[in-house]
Chain A
Amino acid sequence: MKRNLFSARAVPFLQVTPLTLVFALFLVVPIVTIVVVSFWDYDEYRILPDFIFENYIYLLTSHVTLTTYINTLKYAALTWIFTFAIGFTVAYFLAFHVRTTTWQIVLFVLCTIPFWTSNIIRMISWIPFLGRNGLLNSALISIGVVDEPLEFLLYSDFSVILAFVHLYTLFMVVPIFNSMMRIDRSLIEAALDAGATGWQIISNVILPLSKPGIAIGSIFVVTLVMGDFITVRLMSGGQSASVGVAMSNEISLLQYPAAAANAVVLLVVVLLMVAAMMRVVDVRKEL
């Protein structure tokens, strides 16, 4: 009897053990390591176990940090605005204007097709397209819209945001579409019966009910942009800084402790941003 009770108690613990181990091994251990290393010292070729605050002091007092964070936040904000506008529109079209499930699936799959190719390829393809002698400029000049090639198209904030929006819009479309499909259609009929206009239905019915999807999509987009380094480096021609670029620079110079400190600060900032989003929308309620 006693033994049975014991094993009954042990079952839930055993059940959570695998996941706990996975989390401990692949999440907790690496993060703790990064935090530990961020207090170490380094010289040109070595990292030296130590406990110093210099990495953080430099990071938190340097105006470069402020510039890079402002720049990164700017990318995140602009990318969010565009991916949200496009993502919401596409999802709305799929969910409410396409009548049959078959077509919904076909069109949805169509949206994902570009994502079967490599992320890097999709990004780099913009370079010959937007360049000074690229396809777009050549076309604009030959039809006489402009006389001189438009230089701002490539190696600028414009090209960085463009690439981000292109890369990450799908991360908005999918969760918003999912939320919209769960909206009870009778609510819309009720709104119509009550005399609501199309815009009122969107702003008072659909938008509030899509919030969890929007929140999930936003978390995807914002965290991806905040941590990115390769898009910023390639699309800005190495001329713009982001937090990720700063970290990759430090790593290439073997300044691992400085990069670790940077990573810890970025982690804190991103967690705060995610927490703020979760405060606005209770994602769990809808899952």
Chain B
Amino acid sequence: MAKKIRGNATSMQSPSRRRFLKNSAAVAAGATIGSGAITGFPSIWAQNIKNVTLRQFGTGVSNINAIADKCKEDLGITLQMTALDSDSVAQRAVTQPNSFDIADIEYWVCKKVFPAGNMQPMDTKKIKYYDKIVPIFTTGKLTPDSEIAQGTAPHTVGFTKGKDSVEFADQETDWMTLIPTIYNADTLGIRPDLVGRPITNWKDLLDPAFKGKASILNISAIGIMDAAMVCESMGEIKYGDKGNMTKEEIDKTMAILTEAKKAGQFRAFWKSFDESVNLMASGEVVIQSMWSPAVAAVRAKGIPCKYQPLEEGYRAWGGGIGLAKHLSGLELDAAYEYINWYLSGWVGAYLNRQGYYSACLDTAKEYMSPEEWAFWMEGKPAAEDILSPEGKVMEKAGTVRDGGSFYERMGSVACWNAVMDENKYMVRKWNEFIAA
């Protein structure tokens, strides 16, 4: 059963909120997992499953070593984690189908990867907590009257038409492509002490008042979405679908951004997590696209930084785990066992405590203290110091989560990360903008 570890290739230019997690020693490939005692798993599988090794690869955000350790402890299954950047993940899922058992991929990557036929959908009847999965991932509607956001909304690529189908179904079926792991809503980060006025809209990024003090992320697929949020907020462009723009929409968006760049609006463009933290912490930039762990990192230095909710809503992203086509028999059973364990609460609580959201909120709640739950999920002031999963103080007592509760944040998603049909064209236009 011993399978070879394929190395830990976290690329230098990885477009990465994932780099951050390296610091917290969360990302590690093929961890040397101690032979912990098998406890509290009376199922008949326990005897066989404890010998199974599952090779999981994906982006670093959810490829967390603590999860592998806990999985070994609870189930006996050995998880070998490999962390890669999004592009490499997609490439590997398509070109090396036998190099993994479980793929941890983002939904927009799934849209491209699943049709390649190297993965198999999951039987929802075998997923114990299926009914408790947040409905964003099943019906697409957070609450029955929610509107479905633009871009690659997870439920649109969440189901296939049948067991052997690679076609996505329009509505819920018994065959699910990915079980959601981590998702979140992104917005602009600001320095509340330096902006000098309330920030309410995406268009504030291009406000001449912040000339030379704004920044946008230079990862074309995500940067273009933030740019689209800004242009729409300005009232300059009305998009059919921000997640799948036409060439004309791309041209117009880039024209507005190029004009702003030439006028000196931007101080810098950032590509990696640490760059965004340094720009903000040093005061070079007072308003910029940001990821939530970066905001936390700035605040950890004692510098005020706010993940500002905006009127037009958030740009959301999410990922999930799916099964490789070649899994069968005992390994497949082990994979289902792992997925059921994943949804059973401990992992969910761990992820929620990092400021992300997890798939089954009800089960996660049981593993969080009432104070933690109130702070992270209900948007209430922290009753006590809020600790990270590693035990470091993340937020002092009394603070309120930016953007408020889960329903306020995930309920105002305007657009999901996506990959466009005109991707190649968009990338070229984006590079022209950077070179302008």
Contact = CB atoms under 8 A, between A and B. Distances in A.
Interface string A102-134: 000000000000000000000000011001111
A254 interface: yes
A64 interface: yes
B432 A64 contact: yes
Contacts of A62: 428, 432
A44, A63, A233 — most chain B CB neighbours (10 Å)? A44
B283 A67 contact: no
Interface in A58-117: 58, 62-64, 67-68, 71
B87 interface: yes
A64 B434 CA distance: 10
A239 B212 contact: no
Interface string B202-225: 000000000010010010100000
A237 interface: yes
Interface size bucket, A side? 20 to 34
Contacts of A155: 267-268, 284
A238 B268 contact: yes
A151 interface: yes
B13 A251 contact: yes
Nearest to A68: B435
Interface stretch (B63-71, B74-82, B88-96): B88-96
B284 A45 contact: no
A123 to B, nearest CB: 14
B435 A132 contact: no
Interface size bucket, B side? 35 or more
Contact of A239 (B87, B266, B282, B423): B266
Interface string B278-299: 1100111000000000000000
Contacts, number: 86
Interface in A218-263: 233, 236-239, 241, 245-246, 248-249, 251-255
Contacts of A216: none
Nearest to A154: B284
Given A132-B284, A155-B284, A238-B269, A253 B434 contact: no
Contact of A252 (B13, B90, B215): B13
B212 A151 contact: yes
A46 B432 contact: no
A132 B283 CA distance: 7
Interface string A130-152: 01111000000000000000010
B112 interface: yes
B112 A44 contact: yes
Given A44-B90, A239-B261, A64 B431 contact: yes
Given A46-B95, A254-B91, A132 B282 contact: yes
A251 B91 CA distance: 13
Contacts of B423: 44
B348 interface: no
B427 interface: yes
B271 interface: yes
B283 A133 contact: yes
24 contacts: A45-B87, A45-B90, A45-B91, A46-B94, A58-B428, A64-B435, A67-B436, A71-B435, A131-B283, A133-B283, A133-B284, A155-B284, A237-B215, A238-B434, A239-B261, A239-B266, A239-B269, A239-B434, A241-B431, A246-B435, A253-B87, A254-B87, A254-B91, A255-B427
Which 3 interchain pairs have the tightest Cβ spacing? A237-B268, A241-B435, A238-B269
Interface of A: 44-46, 58, 62-64, 67-68, 71, 127-128, 131-134, 151, 154-155, 233, 236-239, 241, 245-246, 248-249, 251-255
Interface of B: 11, 13-15, 87-88, 90-91, 94-95, 112, 212, 215, 218, 220, 261, 266-271, 275, 278-279, 282-284, 419, 423, 427-428, 431-432, 434-436
Given A155-B268, A239-B269, A253-B220, 20 more contacts: A45-B87, A45-B91, A45-B112, A58-B428, A62-B428, A62-B432, A63-B432, A67-B436, A128-B282, A131-B282, A133-B284, A134-B282, A155-B284, A237-B268, A237-B279, A238-B434, A239-B261, A246-B431, A252-B13, A254-B87
